[in-house]
């Protein structure tokens, strides 16, 4: 495969104004007629160049130019990946007819079939699997789409825009024509044809227009759309209120499909969703799933402006739409629930998984400089770090100027395909701030490391804080420049009071703020805080104000103090995490230590006892740092040792706090009908945490509570909480019984069966390799369905770390085999699943040698896809 470089970007030679498509859908394939009106791009210097269109796996039947049939070899050439029309006038109409086989499309890119329904996925480069086209996002055209299909199997025919015509074709066939008035890139094209039912609703926009809202699902899922519909309406309102963005078409549709490579896709007016990201009912979806659905519905809806109306010039700019849209959806979720909890969740994902990516062989900047296969760049860096970069602009500018900047961006670039630099420029122009140095966040990969030291001058009453930043080397990038980092902090007095932060020796303490955002721009900077009578305790990087690592020599005493006194909820939680990490790490380095830090136990006891605290925050604070996070923090981690130490701390906490846990369990049981509010989610979370801990001490009281909760539950959060606790316990009989009952109950619901697979594959009790191999042979497992693959193989390798990193290497060999097998049917999924092996250099030598060997096995597979080739070769370099 070839490497594509940002530096080689050229404007398109030809532009397409309109696309007229006709799809004739049959059981054994589909014929696609595509008529393009094309003209030379006045901005291109390449005059009289041939017209080159992209294509992949197409059977070309006919090409005509301005009504005249073209001859293969003379007038055009078909290479493997292109159709080249040798000579074209400056303006012309080109018709291309292709034949494709959706029923045999296992890559799930382009047009394919999912449970009998036709559907599409065109981002990033799937449109070229449908017809020959200049398949790049800076070619924006107006689309008209006619779909012809069998009436009985495909009563519903959908595409982008508004339906303008429909009719009968005889012989049991019919057609519908759709027209999308907004120019769009080909990656936003969508088509759906199948036997679907619709849930309908209406949204009245701020200017008083009524929008027809529809969610299309298979009949059996008709009762599971309400939450997605409510989420959609909340998103539409929020985007009007917070960003001044009104919806622009008369109809907005969502379709749920079972076979989908990603979560969802923001096609103009016709979003296509993975069923697991749209369908929910109290009985079948956990609280986490409800929250995820709300966030993804919002994310795809928000793309209508940040992505569709203003789109990306090229795929190096992917974070322009993804980083900004993730920032938008995360602010939305914060507004709908608990902002502190949402921030904790985002920071956890970033620190656990994005930091790992940024330190690994596939590390890349938020705006990459090169790629081989763009599908490999839908990463945590592009999405989550990209969102953090936008959040930092928001922090630096403040909410008003940021809003002025986003208004200017949308106004200036509506209908255009632009770059991340255009986004930053709009923010600069609207605010008057210079973001030159800030732009390095887009170009430099790697997580900045901030090393903080301090001293207190008691005579002067001055506290000095020195912050040094370094940015680690990453593939192809060394000697990086200092970045512009917003660093929020506060200082606490001995009673826990928030101290005034005076940066000048003169001035009035009463007017000084108790929180400030320092702007770091140099390799080392010292800040002086005046008028302090005692040495304060610093509360650093509040709200996780930048995606960086902070090192400061906190004492355990300081951490316990911050855990109970910091006015910033995020940093309270963070102090608890740092304390727990410190305790676990010292057990790893000296496993013979008899005593486990009593202050950790007492801090948790205080959390469980204090009902005046925000219970949603308490629920988060009771979660010990994950194994994945502990691995991320370690140099040369020994996975088995980390697993043992963490388990030991968990069971020590559970044993020491048994009575408090039983009390917590009961205090959070009952409380009325099921609802999805932050308070009731927190109650269920606390109850289920308490339950899982009680089972760790082999407490029969815990077992009895779990068995009862499992069978009495009226919602999936509680049923799954009890099932998970049993699955991860030593009560083998109860575990098998609950698993069997669960499958029996829910076997007809694919999304629940996926949860059933995942709860086993993630468990070191129920998910050892032989058991996982048995799951792959289960009747409900399906090698063609990405969700099933992820819920067994992905969960085993990503969440069941002790089993996956079995020192005998069996987990690695297993993953390598599955990845090779999947590469032939679905390369995108194969390239994603291989990620855990790519981090081989990080691990202790015994592990890394075996991981390397497994990667080598994949490299030696004949006919590697471009997707897998890129990931495997870059990680072996
Ligand atoms: N834009 C899509 C991602 C499609 C990825 C295709 N390989 C989903 C989203 O971010 O909204
Ligand atoms: Zn997105």
- Average pLDDT of the segment spanning 177-183: 98
Taking the centre of ligand 1 as the mean of its atom positions, its distance from the CA of residue 131, in whole angstroms, is 20
What does the H/E/C string look like for 411-474? HHHCCCEECHHHHHHHHHHHHCCCCCCCCHHHHCCCCCEEEEEEEEECCCCEEEEEEEEECCCE
- Average pLDDT of the segment spanning 629-644: 98
Q: What is the pLDDT of residue 506?
A: 83
Domain 311-443 CATH superfamily: Neutral Protease Domain 2 (1.10.390.10)
> How far apart, in whole angstroms, are the C-alpha atoms of residue 331 and residue 343?
9
Ligand 1 atom 6: the closest Cα is on which residue? 123
Q: Residue 157 burial by CB count (10 A; 0-12/13-18/19+): exposed, middle or buried?
A: buried
Whether the CA torsion 735, 619, 350, 330 is positive or negative: it is: positive
Is-contact 472 531, C-beta < 8 A? no
Provide the total of helices (H) and of strands (E) in the chain, helices listed first. 31, 31
- Average pLDDT of the segment spanning 617-638: 97
Which residues neighbour 399 within 8 Å (Cβ) at sequence distance 6 or greater?
Answer: none
> How far apart, in whole angstroms, are the C-alpha atoms of residue 548 and residue 354?
11
Ligand 1 atom 9: the closest Cα is on which residue? 265
From the list 148, 218, 300, 754, the catalytic residue is 300
CA of residue 631 relative to chain centroid, distance? 21
The 10 Å Cβ neighbour count of residue 345 is 19
Q: What is the pLDDT of residue 508?
A: 80
Residue 793, helix vs strand vs coil = helix
Q: Give percent of the chain above pLDDT 90.
A: 98
Q: What is the pLDDT of residue 394?
A: 99
> How far apart, in whole angstroms, are the C-alpha atoms of residue 759 and residue 742?
11
For residue 670, pLDDT beyond 90: no
Same fold, 311-443 and 456-553: no
Here the tokens at position 172 are 């049991």
**Domain residue limits, the chain:** 4-195, 311-443, 456-553
> How far apart, in whole angstroms, are the C-alpha atoms of residue 493 and residue 500?
10
Pairing of strands 82-85, 91-100: unpaired
pLDDT grade, residue 694 (50/70/90)? very high
**Mean pLDDT score across all residues of the chain:** 97
Taking the centre of ligand 1 as the mean of its atom positions, its distance from the CA of residue 193, in whole angstroms, is 21
For residue 594, pLDDT beyond 90: no
Whether the CA torsion 693, 695, 697, 703 is positive or negative: it is: positive
pTM over 0.90: yes
Which residues neighbour 481 within 8 Å (Cβ) at sequence distance 6 or greater?
Answer: 437, 440, 444, 471
Here the tokens at position 155 are 């009563």
> How far apart, in whole angstroms, are the C-alpha atoms of residue 353 and residue 838?
13
Here the tokens at position 359 are 């330190």
Ligand 1 atom 2: the closest Cα is on which residue? 265
Residue 277, helix vs strand vs coil = helix
Ligand 1 atom 10: the closest Cα is on which residue? 322
CA of residue 322 relative to chain centroid, distance? 10
Taking the centre of ligand 2 as the mean of its atom positions, its distance from the CA of residue 277, in whole angstroms, is 13
> How far apart, in whole angstroms, are the C-alpha atoms of residue 439 and residue 309?
24
- Average pLDDT of the segment spanning 92-96: 98
Q: What is the CATH number of domain 4-195?
A: 2.60.40.1730
For residue 672, pLDDT beyond 90: no
Residues with CB under 6 A from ligand 1: 123-124, 262, 264-266, 299-300, 303, 322, 375, 378
CATH architecture of 456-553: Sandwich (2.60)
- In the DSSP assignment, the letter for residue 668 is T
Given the CA of residue 375, which atom of ligand 1 is nearest to it? 7
Q: Give percent of the chain above pLDDT 70.
A: 100
300 has catalytic annotation: yes
Taking the centre of ligand 1 as the mean of its atom positions, its distance from the CA of residue 261, in whole angstroms, is 9
CA of residue 412 relative to chain centroid, distance? 28
């Amino acid at each position: 495969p070839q490497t594509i470089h940002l530096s080689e970007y050229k404007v398109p030679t030809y532009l397409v104004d309109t696309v007229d498509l006709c799809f004739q859908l049959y059981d054994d394939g589909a014929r696609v007629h595509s008529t393009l009106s094309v003209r030379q791009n006045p901005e291109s210097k390449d005059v009289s160049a041939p017209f080159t269109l992209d294509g992949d796996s197409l059977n070309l039947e006919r090409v005509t130019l301005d009504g005249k049939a073209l001859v293969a070899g003379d007038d055009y050439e078909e290479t493997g990946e292109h159709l080249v029309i040798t000579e074209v006038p400056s303006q012309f109409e080109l018709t291309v007819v292709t034949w494709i086989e959706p029923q045999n499309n296992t890559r799930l890119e382009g047009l394919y079939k999912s449970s009998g329904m036709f559907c599409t996925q065109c981002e990033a480069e799937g449109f070229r699997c449908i017809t020959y086209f200049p398949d790049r996002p800076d070619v924006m055209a107006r689309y008209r789409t006619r779909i012809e299909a069998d009436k009985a199997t495909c009563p519903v025919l959908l595409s982008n825009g508004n339906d303008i015509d429909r009719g009968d074709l005889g012989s049991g066939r019919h057609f519908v024509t759709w027209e999308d008035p907004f120019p769009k890139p080909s990656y936003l094209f969508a088509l759906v044809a199948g036997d679907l039912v619709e849930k309908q609703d209406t949204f009245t926009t701020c200017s008083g227009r009524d929008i027809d809202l529809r969610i299309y699902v298979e009949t059996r899922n008709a009762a599971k759309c309400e939450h997605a519909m409510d989420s959609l309406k909340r998103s539409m309102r929020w985007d009007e209120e917070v960003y001044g963005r009104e919806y622009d078409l008369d109809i907005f549709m969502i379709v749920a499909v079972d076979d989908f490579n990603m979560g969802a896709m923001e096609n103009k007016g016709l979003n296509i969703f993975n069923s697991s990201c749209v369908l929910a009912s109290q009985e079948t979806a956990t609280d986490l799933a409800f929250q995820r659905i709300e966030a993804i519905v919002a994310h795809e809806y928000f793309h209508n402006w940040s992505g569709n109306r203003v789109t990306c010039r090229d795929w190096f700019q992917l974070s322009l739409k993804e980083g900004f849209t993730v920032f938008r959806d995360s602010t939305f979720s914060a507004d709908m629930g608990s902002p502190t909890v949402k921030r904790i969740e985002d920071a956890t994902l970033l620190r656990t998984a994005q930091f790992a990516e940024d330190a690994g062989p596939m590390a890349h900047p938020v705006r990459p400089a090169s790629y081989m296969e763009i599908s490999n760049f839908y990463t945590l860096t592009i999405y989550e770090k990209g969102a953090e970069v936008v959040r930092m602009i928001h922090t630096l500018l403040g909410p008003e100027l940021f809003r002025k900047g986003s208004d200017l961006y949308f106004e200036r670039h509506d209908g255009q395909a632009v770059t991340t630099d255009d986004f930053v420029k709009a923010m600069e122009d609207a605010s008057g701030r210079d973001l030159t140095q800030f732009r390095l966040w887009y170009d430099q990969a790697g997580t900045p490391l901030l090393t903080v030291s301090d001293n207190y001058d008691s005579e002067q009453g001055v506290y000095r804080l020195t912050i040094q930043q370094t940015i680690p080397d990453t593939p192809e990038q060394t000697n990086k420049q200092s970045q512009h980092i917003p660093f929020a902090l506060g200082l606490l007095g001995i009673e826990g009071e928030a101290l005034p932060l005076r940066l000048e020796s003169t001035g009035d303490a009463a007017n000084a703020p108790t929180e400030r955002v320092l702007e770091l721009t140099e390799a080392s900077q010292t800040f002086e805080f005046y008028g302090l009578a005692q040495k304060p305790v610093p509360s650093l990087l509040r709200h996780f104000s930048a995606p960086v690592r902070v090192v400061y020599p906190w004492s355990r005493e300081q951490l316990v103090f911050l855990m109970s006194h910091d006015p910033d909820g995020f940093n309270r939680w963070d102090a608890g995490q740092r304390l727990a990490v410190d305790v676990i790490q010292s057990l790893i380095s000296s496993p013979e230590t008899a005593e486990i830090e009593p202050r950790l136990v007492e801090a948790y006891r205080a959390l469980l006892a204090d009902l005046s605290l925000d219970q949603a925050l308490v629920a988060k604070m009771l979660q010990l740092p994950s194994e994945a996070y502990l691995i991320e923090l370690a140099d040369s981690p020994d996975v088995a040792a980390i697993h043992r130490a963490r388990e030991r701390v968990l069971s020590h906490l559970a044993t020491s706090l048994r009575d408090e846990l039983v009390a917590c369990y009961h205090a959070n049981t009952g409380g009325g009908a099921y609802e999805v509010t932050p308070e009731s989610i927190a109650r269920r979370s606390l109850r289920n945490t308490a339950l899982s801990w009680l089972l760790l001490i082999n407490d029969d009281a815990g077992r009895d509570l779990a068995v009862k909760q499992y069978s009495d539950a009226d919602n999936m959060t509680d049923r799954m909480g009890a099932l998970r606790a049993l699955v991860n316990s030593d009560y083998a009989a109860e575990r098998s019984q609950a698993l069997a009952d669960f499958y029996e109950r829910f076997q007809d619901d694919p999304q629940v069966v996926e949860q059933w697979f995942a709860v086993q594959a993630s468990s070191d009790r129920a998910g050892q390799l032989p058991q996982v191999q048995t799951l792959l042979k289960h009747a409900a497992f399906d090698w063609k369905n990405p969700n099933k693959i992820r819920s067994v193989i992905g969960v085993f390798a990503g969440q069941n770390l002790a089993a996956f990193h079995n020192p005998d290497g069996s987990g690695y060999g297993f993953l390598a085999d599955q990845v090779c097998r999947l590469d032939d049917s679905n390369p995108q999924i194969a390239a994603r699943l291989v990620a855990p092996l790519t981090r081989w250099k990080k691990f202790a030598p015994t592990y890394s040698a075996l991981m390397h060997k497994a990667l080598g096995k994949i490299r030696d597979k004949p006919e590697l896809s471009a997707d897998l080739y890129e990931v495997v070769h870059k990680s072996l370099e």
